[in-house]
Amino acid sequence: MDYELAVIGAGPAGVAAGIYAVRAGISTIVLEEKLVGGQIVVSPWIENYPGYENISGMDLAEIFKNHLKKYIEPHELEPVKSLTKTEEGFGIVTSKGKYEVKAVVFATGAIYRTLGVPGERKFSGKGISYCATCDGFFFRDKKVAVVGGGNTAAVEALYLKNLGMDVHMIHRRDQLRAEMRYQEELEKKGVNIVYDTVVCCFNGDEKLESIELKDVNTEERRTENFDGAFVSIGLIPNTGLVRDLGVEVDDNGYIKVDDFQRTNVKGVYAAGDITGGARQIVTSCAQGAQAALASTEVLGKQYPF
């Protein structure tokens, strides 16, 4: 075996898994297709990670990377091309080499679905967010739009409303897809729901200032001022590799794990956004640590849980 454990992905979950694995005496390789940090790199400010009252995502990613490098050098810009089950464990082929390992921790995260309209990329992190829990606090007492009509959009709209915002929920259909209990709560809390409407583009100078909207029935367009917009149309878990191994996922594509981050395939663990849930930095770190320590069960090592 080249390594006992492979950690695929170096966001918060992967970094924590790498640190905990090496400290537990596990021979480890950390593979990351981009750069250490994952989604937090594009977060302008983070205020809900304990220990840092206010820090940019880029700065926190650099801290994570330096901490990881104290124990192991991550393989950045080395995407995994294939992963197969072998008699001894798993075979990994990347853009730069081949590795044999006994266990794998998947920490490949998930990406937010985007609208793909003009201005969305320009104002991402400058008025446009994809996570109300992460960024909602910055917009308290402001007027914001929540784009989407499912459960996640409804929950985010309620969360923002509870922070004291003027919330307008924009949905392309004539009724929400969210469960009735959420719809009733939206009405009770006074969230303004704009049906049969789509976003055409986001406007502004240095930050988001307004949104151009279109009525899908009349084709009529109008521009409305907003201080912020939360795009909540779903996530795409990066689970392509694990599906080839027969790892079970739920209806939304997230990997199913138990309390020790085990999947249904022996020797395969998962942590972070790829497992769904709260999808926060602090929970991802905890899951990464748990997955690394749980892997000792298939490595012939013991950890005192």
Active-site residue set: 131, 134-135
**Which of 177, 175, 232 has its CA nearest to residue 199?**
232
How far is 269 from 288, CA to CA, in rounded Å?
9
Phi, psi for residue 195 in degrees, rounded to 5 = -85, 165
